[in-house]
């Protein structure tokens, strides 16, 4: 038994340590909203003052009516109406201001977390499903923003409500205070019992929400594939299974909530009826007036409510720290380093008209989840006005090399640098590859990467000041103007989600035009012409070569038919990059 107790203590200690770390993380946000919380607290305390004053007016009015006190009935009646109107107006204003503050804080915290997710190490981030990321950013971030704004102010408000009500009861008749405390032991015991289950329930609920979001997102994004493979019945059944699991979980939570509610309601009724009975006895014995009894009953309910509210803080803490922990899993992963941003910007501005070369020297790389190296001592180079090709079997590392160049992943050994001009021996300046250097690149990945909006919007997303003429020139270079000019709205034609409304080949050409218009010194094309016919593919690459802008172009391809127009071809083989000669290139073309 001692061993079991030891492990239980260890688990509790670990949980408490996690909650302390999560609370510290939440405080990092809360301290920025001190004045918001103070304002919210003042509003709440003002409401308590209005309620207490209404209680006193109500007492005096009842005593006047029942003859226990002389006075002006009309005066007190009018005062009660006025203060009720003030209370109603105050409640509405408080609700409006609280909503405004809550939305403002929610938007700011979500924006901050969003920006942190975007600069999180890419390889670490890929271990999470996008549906899970969306749930954490949306639901958990909202939970944090609500907690930041409400948690501490509510504790202060609940405590003040309890103290003020208790002080008034003690002042007028201390015996009533006993009944208000009747439910406290039960509430305390229930809270301790439910705490462990609440932690598990919150974690299960968050995981289930992420699962639902992920399934829906993937299904709606792949409707075409679902239809093409006749998977409609399968996906409908899968959704029903997930819904069944979700309903089962929610019903389990609901059953627990029902029993908890019954117990708390029973305790509340016991306290209320005891207070009623005692009040009737005190009035019958002449110890207090009817008005005082009415006030006591209201204060007793306020006291009990404040105690229950304070008790409910425990599940709020659990929910808040659970959300904090889920967000900490994401935002506290390794972040990309942009400290070299100014240097990279200055380097590009200084040498973009001269052209920038890339040199990869003896790099070794292995994915975090991989068992063996993708590259070992691999080297390559590319210069302005060149088209350099990477070829090799699927899965051998072509895309991986582009990710290394873009600093989405990082090598264990070797170095990757940029330098001005074409001749490394005459270079004036070198720049190491890191996330800051991405501004030097334009990238067209595999698949459809167009944004919803117009063609012009997509072009200006990478160059906000682009003129219509510049957009058309980029479209012409990418062999896209030939179909865009035939559209009724031209460059202002709408692109649907995932490039809807355009063929794969057209979407690829639009993506390439977007990369071209950015005028980045280095252009990376990752199977970006795979949906084009050979003639269009060759024409597009020749357009890039003929362009006067000193662009360095690196392409990955499965099709060797365009290799004859490339300045240099690297084949990925045995985890290295080997330059192919004309004979080897001809053989690749013949064997294709």
Predicted pLDDT of residue 194: 59
Alpha helices by DSSP H, listed for 361-397, are none
Determine the average pLDDT of the residues in 13-32: 75
Does position 5 have pLDDT exceeding 50, yes or no? Answer: no
Name the pLDDT band for 360 (thresholds 50, 70, 90): very high
Judged on CB neighbours under 10 Å (0-12, 13-18, 19+), 562 is: buried
Check pLDDT > 70 for residue 177. Answer: no
Give residue-wise pLDDT tens across range 377-404. Answer: 999 999 999 999 999 888 888 899 999 9
Q: Which residue is associated with the tokens 């107790």?
A: 5
Res 481: pLDDT = 93
Domains and CATH numbers, the chain: 2-331 (1.20.1560.10), 341-591 (3.40.50.300)
Evaluate if residue 483 carries a pLDDT over 90. yes
Mean pLDDT calculated for residue range 428-444: 90
Say how many C-beta atoms besides its own lie within 10 A of residue 412's C-beta.
Answer: 10
As to burial, measured by CB atoms within 10 angstroms (0-12 exposed, 13-18 middle, 19+ buried), residue 319 is buried
- Looking at the predicted structure, is the pLDDT value of residue 193 above 60? no
Looking at residues 258-266, what average pLDDT do you find? 72
Residue 7 clears pLDDT 60, i.e. is over it: no
pLDDT score of 2 more than 70 = no
Q: What percent of the chain has pLDDT over 90?
A: 21
Which is higher by pLDDT, 459 or 37?
459
Mean pLDDT, range 564-590, rounded to an integer: 88
Of residues 472 and 562, which shows the higher confidence score? Answer: 472
Structure confidence at residue 84 (pLDDT):
75
Average pLDDT over residues 365-370: 82
- Encode pLDDT of 134-175 as tens digits: 888 888 888 888 777 777 788 888 888 877 777 777 777 777
- Tell me which residue of 331, 315, 328 sits closest to 18, measured CA to CA: 328
The predicted pLDDT at position 331 comes to: 83
pTM for the full predicted model? 0.73
pLDDT at 346: 93
Average pLDDT for the chain: 81
Written as one string, the DSSP assignment of 112-163 is: HHHHHHHTB-HHHHTTS-HHHHHHIIIIIHHHHHHHHHHHHHHHHHHHHHHH
Lowest mean pLDDT among 101-110, 301-310, 487-496: 301-310
* pLDDT(58) > 80: no
Residue 513 has pLDDT above 90, yes or no: yes
**For the residues 480-494, what does the mean pLDDT come to?**
92
The pLDDT assigned to 8 comes to: 42
- Residue 312: per-residue pLDDT: 66
pLDDT of residue 418: 94
- pLDDT, greater one: 471 or 267: 471
Structure tokens at 501: 């409304």
Measured CA to CA, the distance from residue 418 to residue 424 in angstroms comes to: 9
- Give the integer Cα–Cα distance in Å for 572 and 397: 7
Q: If you average pLDDT over residues 328-342, what whole number do you get? A: 87
At residue 319 the predicted structure's pLDDT band, cuts being 50, 70 and 90, is confident
Would you state the structure tokens that stand for residue 378, as one six-digit string? 């691999």
Residue 6 has pLDDT above 60, yes or no: no
> In this predicted structure, what is the pLDDT of residue 16?
67
Residue 361: what pLDDT?
92
Per the CB < 8 A criterion, the answer to whether 576 and 376 are in contact is yes
pLDDT for residue 10: 40
Residue 521 pLDDT: 93
Question: Per-residue confidence at 9, pLDDT binned at 50, 70, 90?
Answer: very low
Residue with the bigger pLDDT between 7 and 522: it is 522
**Strand pairing of 568-573 and 387-391?**
parallel
Q: Three-class SS of residue 99? A: helix
pLDDT (tens digit per residue) in 115-136: 888 888 888 888 888 878 888 8
- Is the pLDDT score of 11 beyond 50? no
């Amino acid at each position: 038994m001692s061993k079991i107790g030891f492990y239980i203590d260890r688990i509790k200690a670990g949980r408490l340590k996690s909650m302390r770390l999560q609370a510290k993380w939440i405080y990092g946000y809360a301290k920025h909203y001190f004045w918001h919380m103070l304002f919210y607290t003042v509003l709440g305390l003002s409401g308590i003052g209005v309620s207490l004053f209404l209680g006193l007016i109500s007492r005096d009015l009842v005593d006047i009516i029942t003859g226990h006190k002389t006075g002006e009935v009309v005066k007190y009646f009018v005062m009660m109406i006025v203060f009720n109107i003030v209370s109603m107006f105050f409640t509405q204003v408080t609700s409006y201001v609280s909503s405004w503050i809550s939305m403002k804080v929610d938007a700011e915290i979500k924006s901050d977390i969003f920006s942190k997710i975007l600069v999180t190490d890419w390889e670490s981030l890929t271990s999470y499903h996008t549906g899970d990321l969306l749930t954490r950013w949306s639901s958990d971030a909202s939970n944090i923003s609500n907690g930041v704004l409400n948690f501490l102010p509510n504790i202060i408000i609940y405590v003040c409500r309890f103290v003020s009500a208790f002080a008034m009861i003690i002042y007028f008749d201390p015996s009533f205070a006993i009944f208000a405390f009747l439910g406290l032991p039960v509430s305390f015991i229930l809270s301790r019992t439910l705490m462990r289950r609440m932690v598990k329930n919150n974690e299960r609920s968050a995981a289930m929400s992420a699962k639902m979001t992920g399934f829906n997102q993937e299904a709606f994004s792949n409707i075409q594939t679902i239809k093409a493979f006749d998977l409609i019945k399968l996906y409908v059944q899968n959704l029903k299974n997930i819904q069944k699991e979700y309903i089962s979980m929610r019903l389990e939570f609901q059953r627990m909530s029902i029993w908890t509610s019954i117990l708390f309601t029973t305790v509340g009724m016991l306290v209320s009826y005891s207070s009623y009975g005692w009040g009737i006895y005190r009035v019958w014995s002449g110890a207090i007036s009817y008005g005082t009894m009415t006030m006591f009953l209201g204060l007793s309910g306020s006291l009990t409510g404040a105690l229950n509210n304070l008790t409910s803080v425990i599940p709020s803490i659990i929910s808040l720290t659970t959300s904090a922990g889920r967000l900490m899993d994401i935002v506290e992963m390794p972040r990309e380093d942009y400290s070299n941003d100014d240097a990279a910007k200055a380097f590009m501005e200084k040498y973009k008209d001269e052209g920038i070369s890339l040199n990869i020297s003896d790099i070794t790389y292995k994915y975090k989840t991989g068992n063996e190296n993708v590259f070992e001592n691999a080297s390559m180079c590319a210069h302005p006005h060149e088209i350099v090709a990477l070829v090799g079997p699927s899965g051998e590392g072509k895309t991986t090399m582009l990710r290394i160049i873009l600093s989405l992943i990082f090598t264990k050994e070797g170095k990757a640098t940029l330098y001005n001009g074409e001749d490394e021996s005459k270079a004036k300046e070198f720049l190491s590859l890191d996330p800051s250097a991405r501004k030097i690149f334009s990238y067209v990945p595999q698949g459809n990467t167009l944004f919803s909006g117009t063609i012009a919007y997509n072009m200006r997303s990478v160059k906000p000041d682009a003129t219509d003429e510049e957009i058309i020139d980029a479209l012409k270079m990418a062999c896209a103007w030939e179909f865009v000019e035939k559209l009724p709205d031209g460059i202002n034609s709408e692109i649907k989600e995932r490039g809807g409304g355009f063929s794969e080949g057209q979407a690829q050409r639009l993506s390439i035009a977007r990369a071209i218009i950015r005028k980045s010194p280095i252009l990376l094309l990752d199977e970006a012409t795979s949906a084009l016919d050979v003639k269009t593919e060759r024409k597009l690459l020749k357009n890039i070569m003929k362009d006067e802008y000193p662009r360095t172009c690196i392409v990955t391809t499965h099709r060797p038919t365009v290799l004859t127009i490339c300045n240099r071809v690297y084949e990925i083989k045995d985890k290295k990059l080997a330059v192919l000669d004309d004979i080897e290139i001809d053989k690749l073309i013949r064997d294709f």
